[in-house]
Structure formats: structure tokens, C-alpha cells
Amino acid sequence: MPTEYPGPLVSQQWLYDHLNDDNICIVDATVHLPDTGRNAKKEFTEQHIPNAIFFDLSDIADPNNPLPRKVPDRNLFSEKVGQLGIDNSTHVIAYDTPGLYSAARVWWLFRLYGYDNVSILDGGLHRWKQCRNPTTDKRVSREPSDFRINETRDLLSKKEEVLACSTKGETILDARTLGRFSGKEADRYPGTRPGHIPGSANLYWANLLNSETRELLSKADLEETFKLSGIDVDQPIVLTCGSGLTACILGFALDRIGKSKWKIYDGSWDEWGRDQDLPIEIDN
């Protein structure tokens, strides 16, 4: 019998107890930026959670966009996800190596295309190993299937909409470090200017996680952290970051506290910071 959907966040113990459930597909969605010198695919082949497959966010992306990992259109997303053996009865469990960094992007992509049967493993592989749960280098394969998209939700912002929000003084929340946001540190994306979108606020994504376990904070602590950022979570919010990865953590955290008026700026600073026609702001 299919496992009852446990919600968008599952614990290490829950996944350990359900590792062999037929309707579950565990996906490793790890992304390592070039400046880390790490290769996510190679690391996956050496060690991953049993029965996991690799969800390549660089491949499940718009091939016509020069920036990496941009949102694929619905037809390509449907095709690529189906090739992984995911259909409309599959419960997708996403994780990444650091704990929570890129896995939230998988949750958001499925949400964007109307599919909610997706969960994030709390603390990812980092916590999985802390709990002394098993890992393997054994690869598994799944038979390709059909994944149908029945709707596209309004969870995506493009730069024109973000510029309009900035001009009108509407809420934009940036997930990068304070140093990169302020312009006092060089950004991780070569070729981008220092600074941030004018009028935006800052909430570093890692502040939403327990620093030791990399698990998401409690709902009460998430609410307090958003409050300290100075934004009104009941108003529409555009979420941005370096390249559209960690902004999805902010979106996931907002969803956890029952807030739904948010969108992800897919291009984020990797796009905005390169476009000389777009305004920037640097803190003194």
C-alpha cells in the first residue's frame, strides 16, 4: 500500500523506516558551486543514501538560458522527471549533502508545476550520517515513466517583475550572506557587480537552520527569524539569492509557517548583478 504523505519535511527516522517503500523516490539534488572544487555527481557515486538517484539540477534546466540551473519549461520538466522514473503517484524525497542547500529547489520546482507529493529530508545527508544511518555506493535504476503537469503556479518571478517591485518599494528578500548583500565582499559569481537589488532586505539562508544538525528551525524560531529580518511575511515577497538555489530555502521556510505570498526570482544575483542596465545598491 502507498505510504501516507507525511508532509513537506521528513525526519531522518521517518526515511530510515520507509527506505524500501515502493512509492518513494529518494533524490540527491546536491549542487556544489565551482569555487568549492567539489563534484556533486562524483560524490554521489561514492556515497549516497540507499535507493537514492541523482537529480541533476544542471540537466533539469532551461538549455537555452546561458545561466546555470534556470527553470525548464513544463514540457522539458515533465520529460526529464519521467525519465527518472517519477510519475504522479511517486512520493519524492529530496536531500543534499550539506544538509539543506539545493534540495529546496527540487521542492519548489515540483510545486511550481502543481505537484505537492514532495518532501525534504531534514538535515540531508549531513544529519543522516550524524545519525549513523547507512550509506552506499550502489547505484539503482528506475524504469522511465510518465509525469503529467496539470497546472503551473504563480511562484516564479523574472527580472522585469522584480525591477517593478523594487521601483514600487515592494518586499524583496535576499538570502545571501550579509557581506555579499552589502557589497563589502566579492560575490561568488564571477562577473557580477557587488551589492543588492535596491530596497531589498537580507536574511541569510543558513540562519534558518540549526548550525550543528543543519535541520530546519522550529516553526516558532522561523517566525522569530523572519520577524528580525524586518519584513512583513503577510505581504507579497520576492525571494532572491545568488542563483536561485537558497532563495528556495526561504520559500520553504515561509511555507512551513503558513505563508504563501512569495515567489522565487530565478535569475537572482547571477543575472541581476551582470546586467549593467539594472540598478544596484551598496551599503556604506
For residue 250, CA distances in Å to 17, 48, 55, 65, 203 come to: 28, 26, 21, 24, 8
Asked if 119 and 6 touch (Cβ cutoff 8 Å), the reply is: yes
Task: Take residue 279 and report the three cell numbers written for it.
Answer: 540598478
Instruction: Give 146's Cβ-side CA count (13 Å radius).
Output: 3
Is residue 109 a contact partner of residue 118, using CB atoms and an 8 Å limit?
A: no
Residues β-bridged to residue 24: 91
Burial of 125 (0-12, 13-18, 19+ CB in 10 A): buried
Which three-class secondary structure state does DSSP give residue 248? helix
Which of 25, 165, 241, 248 is the catalytic position?
A: 241
Q: Is the dihedral of CA 93, 94, 98, 99 positive or negative?
A: negative
CB atoms within 10 A of CB 192: 21
- Known catalytic residue: 241? yes
CA distance 256 to 188: 28
Residue 184 grid coordinates? 563589502
Residue type (1 letter), 122:
D
Cα(250)–Cα(105) distance, integer angstroms: 11
Task: Give the whole-angstrom CA distance, residue 189 versus residue 178.
Answer: 16
Catalytic residue IDs: 241
